[in-house]
Amino acid sequence: MSLYTNTELYDLVHGPFADEETFDFYYQMAIRYGPKVLDAACGTGQILIPLAKAGIEICGFDISEEMLSACRQKAADEGVSIEACNGDMRDFAFSQSFDLIFVAGNSFQHLMTDADISAAFNSIRKHLAPKGRLHIEMFNPSWPLLMREPEKRLMVGQFGEYILTEDSSYDVINRTSHTTWHFWHKPSGKETSLSYSAREYLLTDVEEMFSSNGFVIEHHYGDFDLSPYDEERSSKHLVVAKMA
């Protein structure tokens, strides 16, 4: 079963809303590059809802109806009016352009083929204002984790009444990983397993991806504190780019 069909467990791990550091990063991005902002693959609204609540002119879309339903419910609970619709990163359509389009939370890594990636960039270009900016957030690969023994479970942590472990396999040729999270519910002893796949990006992969799809990288941060990207130390790729 896909991780993105179980919004309760997804939010249990990721948090219902962005933490302070993550929110501050995206808020400053919206202030700097806005005013009109699009949250592509908005999920359950971890970033969309707090930004809307802070007065940012933002809308979003996601391919998962389960995630969108949770997003709308959370917005209603917070008393926030949002626009969040169903859409596919590879072929979305809005009647307006945006000054900032961002893909947060490593969602871009779920595009597994070159054709999918090119289609997403094409859709983004169609919706980006002439002087607009694109931001994509991705993991910086941890090779010890990627090359570990397949199906050997590692402890992730405890989240409420759940103990979370994971196993993962890596396809070196296609640079893709497949991970399964196992949620063991302590009171009942029941286990729920949820999976996701991702494409992994080295520095050269990131640079080639943006340039071959018509974008120039302006900033490449390694974390939300705006520290410069370091291939050995950074936990993330946080890329800000403009159309070439």
Select from 109, 72, 105, 64 the least CA-distant residue to 88: 64
pLDDT band, very low/low/confident/very high, at 232 (cuts 50, 70, 90): very high
pLDDT in tens, 123-133: 999 999 999 99
The pLDDT assigned to 66 comes to: 97
Structure tokens at 225: 């504190």
pLDDT in tens, 134-181: 999 999 998 888 888 987 899 999 999 999 999 999 999 999 999 999
**Residues above pLDDT 90, as percent of the chain:** 95
| Average model confidence (pLDDT) across the chain | 97
Domains of the chain with bracketed CATH: 3-140+201-243 (3.40.50.150), 143-199 (2.20.25)
Select from 33, 42, 35 the least CA-distant residue to 56: 35
The pLDDT assigned to 151 comes to: 79
pLDDT in tens, 184-210: 999 999 999 999 999 999 999 999 999
If one counts every other C-beta atom within 10 angstroms of the C-beta of residue 69, the result is 14
Task: Please give the Cα distance from 127 to 25 (Å, whole number).
Answer: 22
The pLDDT assigned to 194 comes to: 98
On whether the pTM is more than 0.75, the answer is yes
Q: Which residues contact 55 (CB under 8 A, 6 or more apart)?
A: none
pLDDT at 218 over 90: yes
